[in-house]
Each structure stands twice: as structure tokens, then as C-alpha cells.
Structure 1
């Protein structure tokens, strides 16, 4: 339920979550109560806090059957973009932090990420395979502007001629075109840009600190102009809220230069279900019941069904209709194609200090 004290005081501008659910691993719960000393004074605005951790391992591997990548990197934990629908929110609980406001405001940077990546790629046991970045939290979220961790990571990957697939909503990716474009020219890079809605008001409510839709379309155009292949990701599709925009998003993205497309329906794992419903009641009370009814229809009567093969597409008539609309629209726009596999044959460890020089 919504924390009444948090809601009463306007201390969370440009945040999507309106509460801080308990950490599911904790034995104890916390509740805000009025102790009688309240004098109608506003609590201070909730600011973003950034702490640091030194990564002992930076490449994470997975074997999920419905994911297209086998290894990934996360430069940051938590995400200031604050998308209310973010499926990564529950991962904050593993840090002893809430998937709610903590996920948006208590971030963790990994300043030695590039150094550790260099070490792991230099291992004689390492075998190159595409690394996905942005699959959990966004590498181009606002704090990257000052931290530059993602740029350092990309420089290491470039030095090793290592293939990488990036997913982002952040226009800050344009800063790194000087690294991205040469990698793309070698067949080492592709980018997925997520566009959830074209409506600025809906976007600001759902994704409060994400660049506006028009800005993301301009980013697609600038990346494309630099020779970077871009896939538009219509994700997530929110039933009864953004699903009517599917064709318009695809058309606008195609016009901007996107060469492929994908889509994922809304999924609400763990604490995300409660956070999303609280947000829905606050932002769209007139359609909250309809939205949740459609979501439960997608997931067999539940808020979420985590089964592989179903969790990203849903099931039932509405899911089938969305699939057909997506198929027809992408075929019409020429977006119904898979991007070629990224190259691994160019991978090479750069010379290290102390290495014997080649006589060739």
C-alpha cells in the first residue's frame, strides 16, 4: 500500500514510485507513523545518492532460454530513470534496499568496471561472445554523464575488438559515437533504443527521468547517420494505456532510421506489481481497473506469469492480436528482420606491458 506520510509530503518530484516496499529478505518491516510532533512542515526533497562498490567480477552469465544473450555487464545498480514498470526493480532487494524509491534514489556505481573487464577479457580461458549491456539497468542513465563508467567500458571493448549489444533509453549514448561508429563499421556493435510511448505526458509519468520520446527518436537518427544499426524496442507495451500507439511508434522509429524492431508486453515481477498498481491508481484512476484486468488476462489471471516463453509475450486473444499487429506493421515498414550476428573473429587481446614483441 502507499506510504501515507510519503504521499502527504511532496518530497518526490520526478520520481515514479510513491512508496518504499519492505525488502522481502528482511525479518523486520518498517512503517512511517505520525508521532504527534508533525507541524505541517514538508520533508526535504528526496535526492539521488550514489555509493560505490569495487566489482570483483564484471561479466555476468545467464542461461535463460528466452533471452538472446549469454553474458552481460551492469555498470550501475539501481536506475535514476525511475521507470515504474522496470522489471529490474526487485534486484535491489538483494542489496538490502527497497525496489521502490530506493531503486531510483540509492544508486551504486562500479568505478573499476573497465579495469576488471580488461582483466577478464585478457584471461587465456576467455572465449569471445556478444556482451549485452543495459539488460538490467540503463548504462546511459543520468549519473553516467559525470561518472563515465560506460564510456570506459566501451573503450576496453573497442580495444579488444569485442562484440557488444547495447540497450538504452538514454540520449547520452550520442556522446560515445566516436567509439561506437568504428565498432559498428567492423560488425562489432548494435544498439536497441526503447520507445514506450510517443506521448510526452504519459512518458513523463511512467519514466520520469528518461529523455522525452522525441529526443529518443533523434538519437535513433543520429546513431543511424553514424552507421550504427539501431533496433527500436517497443517495450513494454502497456495494455489499455500505450498499446494503441504500437504502429505509430514503429512508423516514427522507421522514419528516424531504425532498421529492425522488437516488442515486449508489460511484466510485473515481485514488488513491481504493487508499485505499478499504486502508481496506476494515482496517475490513471479512471482506467486502473481496465489496465490490470487486461494484464491479468495476459498472464493467466495473475499479475505476472514467470514461465519462460510466456513472460515477455503473454497469452490469450489480446496477446495474439498484439503479435499480429506487430507482425503486419513491421512487415509494412521493412522492420521485420533480424540483425546479423556480431563478429567474434576479430577479437584480439591488445599488447600488454612486458609482452614479447612480434618479429613479423
Structure 2
């Protein structure tokens, strides 16, 4: 009895101390309240739905793209628009490229949130060399490019040289890149570049080879998310808003944050409880899978599309190299960022539940597209 009373007193002391810290913090006091703290501490996670997800390299009716002709539409939707500003009669002169490489560090400042790492990739006789233009660490993205080129058996890469920005954040602002610079993420709006003009290419550490299959009728009919809250994200990011909303609506939502980084770490951990890790393949056990932006676009969008579940995706300006080929209500159900993001997702779950046949068809369309 004494131990129980002591534990209860300690819990109240911690809650009261946290409340005093949070109440006087301006904007923060508007989005934190005692109920949120109680719900975060008392939240009980449901166990992962029982059963085994099939991980398949191939299934009847699924086809992979094998040739440039198979990928022609992807190129037209994405690579073509990115390269359009750089197309010119006679191509790019070697001296022009040399001058850009020589002046790159001064001409193209790093992003205020990025580390500024960038390099010149030279492909010659099927091997890759990297010459650092800014930064000098053995970055995994360059290692992935090198492995992709040098391990290719059926493809012959032409001798070439190109500049790669390996930060998450784009850097070619205000026309500072007269020649193409390759990057993983940028902003795009109304059919044109927003702020920067890089050329997008894949994030090579994700492999989209396998299908994740779980019986539709056995999937848990909730919106599901496991994601991180990173230091470069605002405290009211879509992920944080969704995680808080999930505390209040456990019947429709299971939206969790597995890791919190950055200066808001101690503040955010009292808005919601951290969720347990769930593997990508086990995501297929939920009927609706959330994709919400992090610092930039969520890299694993295609991963969750490979599960036979409906993807509920945040509509934003951040894109990856394939995003412009995706269509709302064909490949995913859209929602917008904002304080009502959780309410939007609840409404989508209710709509999809009421239209199960259409939801299942959308999940199948997304899975076939992602596998190809």
C-alpha cells in the first residue's frame, strides 16, 4: 500500500512539474493540455494483428518495368519536366560544365538546414569516382550510387560526369544552378519548380522489389502510421498533429511516433506517448496506411504502396522523383496539412469504410503501380 501511494505521488509530481514547464511557453500552451498528457501516459497500444504477411518477389498479374519503353510515362511525367529548363541547341559545352564545377562551392550556398554536402560523380568504364565539391565524409548515398553502377550486369552506363547534392534539402535557389544538379527532394507546385530547379533522382537505399500481402478481410480497419519526429520538423508537424489526434480517437486511428529528435524533444514527449516499432511488412495488417511529410517528402511512400492497403497521403509541395505520376483517388486518398489533419483522416477512414469495394480497388492500383 505504501509503495502504491508513493508511486501515485511521484506520478502526480511529474505531471504537475511538466504542466508548469509547458503552460508558460506561448504558442506551446495552446496545443498542450492536461488531458493530452494523461492520454499519452495512459495510452495502451493494441497488439499487431495476428497472422503472417506474405512477402512475395512475384505474384500472378504483376509486371515489372524492364525497359526504357516500359518507363516512358514515368520519364515524361517526372524527368522530362526537370530537364526542360536545361535543354538547349548543341547541348552543354564541356568548358561550361568545368566552370560550373570550379565555382560550385561559392555560387551555390548550402541550405540553411542542411550540411551542404555535394560531389562530382564521374563514371568511366563502368566504375565510379566521387570528387567532393563540399563536405568530405564517406556518405552512404554516394556508396549506393557506386554500388548501383558497378554491380549492374545487364546495363552499360555511359562515361559521364554529374553533380549530386546529397543533403535532404535542395540548394539550387534563384537560378544559381545554370546546369543540372541531381537531388532527392524538392518542391513542385502547379506544374513548375518552387524555389529551386534541381533534377530529381532516386534515394538509392530503398529497394522496391517485394509485395506485402495480407488478406483484405483480416486487415484492421484503422489508419496506421509509424514515423519519427525529427529536429528539422516544426512541433506542429503533420506527424505530431496526427499522433495527438490518435490519442483521442483510438477506434479509427493508430498513428504513432517512434522517435523524437531535436530541441522540441522534451516538450513533444508529453503531447503523445512514443509508439512501438512495426516492420514495413507488418504495416500490411492495417487497411489504411498514412504517409505524412517529415523534414521533406516521406521516403518510404512506395514501400507502403507495396502493401495491399489504401495509402492516405499528405498533399504537399515536397516531391520525389516519381510523385508526379501519382494521382489522388487512383493511387492514394489525399489529406492536407493543418491543425485539422487528424479530423480529415478520420473522415477519410469513414468514407473508405463505407466504400470498401472502391477502397480495395485503390489499394490494388497502388500496389501494381509501385511494383512496376
Larger radius of gyration: 2
Give TM-score, length-normalised by structure 2.
Answer: 0.23
Give TM-score, length-normalised by structure 1.
Answer: 0.24
